[in-house]
Chains A and B, each alone.
Chain A
Amino acid sequence: MSRPKAVSKPGARVSTRRSAATRPAVVGVLLTAGLLASIAAAVTIGSADLSVPDVIGSIAAHLGIGQSPLDTLRDGIVWELRLPRILTAACVGAGLALSGAVMQALTRNQLADPYLLGLSSGASLGAVSVLLLGVAVLLPVAAFAGALAALAVTLGLAGALGRITPTRTVLAGVAVSSLAGAITSFVIFWSVTGDSYRQILGWLLGSLSGARWPAVAIAGIALLVVGVPIALSGRVLDAFAFGDTTASSLGVPVQAVRWVLLGGTALLTGAMVSVSGAIGFVGLVLPHAVRLLTGPGHRALLPLAALVGAVFLVWADTLARSLFDPRELPVGIVTALIGAPVFALLLARRRSEA
């Protein structure tokens, strides 16, 4: 225990600082580049063969730079079908992974995912109402309304149980999920016929096949307005590491931060579910994978989880639409098929480290 300010091993300290501060930044730059490359590459993949320069030329033309090198049909495939779908995948992946990381921190539960408060089952109920009962609203609107209604019932129930605490909220979310799931199943069982069955199933499993520019707008605005501030709140979540008392003594308004983050992730998740259905495993698994890369600090974890989520879902969706071309898989099946074994691997690796 030394009082003098001179430090024994300055070299060692400089190197730790570098690895603590610079590495996540490097990873972030690489991931951003990887995301852009993934988007460009994914647009070229599909039944109509396109090259990367053609795709970039077409996109540039739509942004007002030069002439599109493609004919009208292929240009339409790039601009009206593939690009909006891929951008939606990127936004949804980022939003879900970010929400998952925040939920895991807020509930101090490694198994938490963005759907913990009943959001996905509420959204499913809203969507099913549109698809089967002929409720005359747009699907994303109904799904978002369903997600928010589920959240409201969850919070109401948690409040009715006493003072609203995170644990009570999660328990109430589980109850609301089960209820909404049961009603959804009942509606499907009662009224589904022929073709609508596949459409419903696609939505329940999570699918981006219907994503056009309006979906990009919904997911993109949610990510920008709600997601970006959440992604920057990592330092505050770190301050929670030693419990509420220490966080409070560090000047963090503990309760307010907790509710703002909970509400923010709920809004973000609701927006994502409304355009894509309930895509599983992204919010649960990816934060764990990123922790292996950058350590447990939330300051790096949150933005990097968002980037990894975006890259992951772009490729998962590309697989979903090209694997059995011309038939499409719901992307939720692909994320589950990849996510479950990866999750098992991560658990095994953590166990061997411990």
Chain B
Amino acid sequence: MRARGITVRAGAATLVDDASFEAPAGALTALLGPNGAGKSTLLRAVAGVERPASGSVEHDDADLLAMPRRRRARVLALIEQEAATELPLTVRAVVGLGRTPHETLLGGRDPDATAAIDEAMAVAGVAGFASRDITSLSGGERQRVMLARALAQQPRILVLDEPTNHLDIAAQLEVLDVLADLAAAGTTVVVALHDLTLAAAHAQHVVVMAHGRVVASGPTGETLTPELLREVYGVQAQWSTNPLTGAPLLAVARVSRPGPTGSGS
């Protein structure tokens, strides 16, 4: 998937300014940047939920933003930040909402519904509580249900806005493991994260935003340089190895007070 020149304005303010990035299929792409950098807005624009002033999202030689929304919803699924409901729907019913773009507006039959819903629930690990009420679940369980709902859309591209927010560390790692597996199986996964260490450990590809612009993107190890992180986040960083997993580990710390010259932000 390739986003090109996406610009989103709200009144006089430019929230996202000419953002272009690539999210390779088969990889987990993390969208990084400080709060207010425009990550959510960019993801909403890519998902076609917010109409950008300009830009395109190319996938398989087609522009997703030029597609009818129902067709787009069969290619791309969005999990927004903290989607909540007051309706005590069952988990299975919520996952079933993912079939909406595969049905007609008046709810015409969708022959693949049962199989797609079952598979989505199995992959996201929510089949065990399919008949429970969504409002009774923990944050981690609810997030996995939302993931299953998105998977029931059978998308080629999965876009998630900070899915690990408010989850305890075990639930965060679980969600990211499922996303990594999905990416490995060929889905394009784009996920906004604000935890640098988590992103560095799980994403093969990163896109870094600051002040509404994409300031860097590429393979994780090459892109998240100590210089870039000092520039964007105002922190010092160093790559090492996670002693538990042997995977690359990005250690971060505040810039020490009498720091070397260079601009923070």
Chain A: residues with CB nearer than 8 A to chain B?
1-9, 12-13, 16-17, 19-20, 108, 229, 232-236, 238-239, 241-243, 245-246, 248-253, 257, 295-297, 299
Q: How far is the CA of A258 from the CA of B137 in the complex (A)?
A: 29
Chain A residues within 8 Å of B153, by CB: 250
Known: A1-B144, A233-B107, A234-B107. A250 touches B73 (CB 8 A): yes
A-B contacts, 26 listed (Cβ < 8 Å): A1-B124, A3-B122, A3-B123, A7-B122, A9-B127, A12-B131, A17-B114, A20-B92, A232-B107, A233-B106, A235-B107, A242-B83, A242-B85, A242-B97, A243-B85, A245-B49, A245-B80, A248-B49, A249-B78, A250-B100, A251-B74, A252-B69, A252-B105, A257-B105, A295-B89, A297-B89
Chain A residues within 8 Å of B124, by CB: 1
| B195 close to chain A: CB less than 8 A | no
Known: A3-B181, A251-B70. A16 touches B130 (CB 8 A): yes
B47 CB to nearest A CB, Å: 5
Q: How far is the CA of A31 from the CA of B121 in the complex (A)?
A: 33
Q: How many A-B residue pairs have CB under 8 A?
A: 122
Interface size on B, residues (CB 8 A): 50
Chain A residues within 8 Å of B105, by CB: 233, 236, 252, 257
What residue of chain A has the Cβ atom nearest to residue B113's Cβ? Answer: A21
A63 CB to nearest B CB, Å: 31
What residue of chain A has the Cβ atom nearest to residue B161's Cβ? Answer: A245
Q: Choose one: B69, B144, B177; the contact of A251 (CB below 8 Å).
A: B69
What residue of chain A has the Cβ atom nearest to residue B74's Cβ? Answer: A251
Q: How far is the CA of A108 from the CA of B84 in the complex (A)?
A: 13
Evaluate contact between B97 and A239: CB separation under 8 angstroms. Answer: yes
Chain A residues within 8 Å of B144, by CB: 1
Evaluate contact between A20 and B93: CB separation under 8 angstroms. Answer: yes
Known: A251-B70, A296-B87. A238 touches B181 (CB 8 A): no
Chain B residues within 8 Å of A234, by CB: 107
In the complex, which residues 148-207 of chain B have their Cβ closer than 8 Å to any Cβ of chain A? Answer: 153, 174, 177-178, 181
- B26-49 CB contact bits vs A (8 Å, 1 = yes)? 000000000000000000100111
Chain A residues within 8 Å of B85, by CB: 241-243
Q: How far is the CA of A2 from the CA of B71 in the complex (A)?
A: 29
Evaluate contact between A19 and B49: CB separation under 8 angstroms. Answer: no
Q: How far is the CA of A20 from the CA of B121 in the complex (A)?
A: 16
Evaluate contact between A251 and B93: CB separation under 8 angstroms. Answer: no
Q: Choose one: A5, A16, A232, A252; the contact of B90 (CB below 8 Å).
A: A16
Evaluate contact between A9 and B128: CB separation under 8 angstroms. Answer: yes
Known: A241-B85, A241-B87, A250-B153. A2 touches B125 (CB 8 A): yes
- B75-114 CB contact bits vs A (8 Å, 1 = yes)? 0011010011111111011100110110101110000001
Chain B residues within 8 Å of A296, by CB: 87-89
Evaluate contact between B177 and A295: CB separation under 8 angstroms. Answer: no
Q: Choose one: A13, A239, A249; the contact of B130 (CB below 8 Å).
A: A13
Q: How far is the CA of A12 from the CA of B178 in the complex (A)?
A: 24
Chain B residues within 8 Å of A238, by CB: 87, 89, 93, 97
Q: Choose one: A1, A108, A252, A253; the contact of B125 (CB below 8 Å).
A: A1
Q: How far is the CA of A246 from the CA of B69 in the complex (A)?
A: 12
4 pairs of A and B residues whose beta carbons are closest in the complex: A251-B73, A1-B125, A251-B70, A251-B101
What residue of chain B has the Cβ atom nearest to residue A242's Cβ? Answer: B83
What residue of chain B has the Cβ atom nearest to residue A228's Cβ? Answer: B106
Known: A8-B127, A239-B97. A13 touches B174 (CB 8 A): no
Q: Taking A16-B92, A249-B47 as given, write out 17 further A-B residue pairs in contact, using a Cβ cutoff of 8 Å, ordered by the A residue number.
A: A1-B174, A7-B121, A7-B122, A9-B127, A12-B131, A17-B114, A236-B100, A238-B97, A239-B97, A241-B94, A242-B84, A243-B85, A249-B78, A250-B98, A252-B69, A295-B88, A297-B93
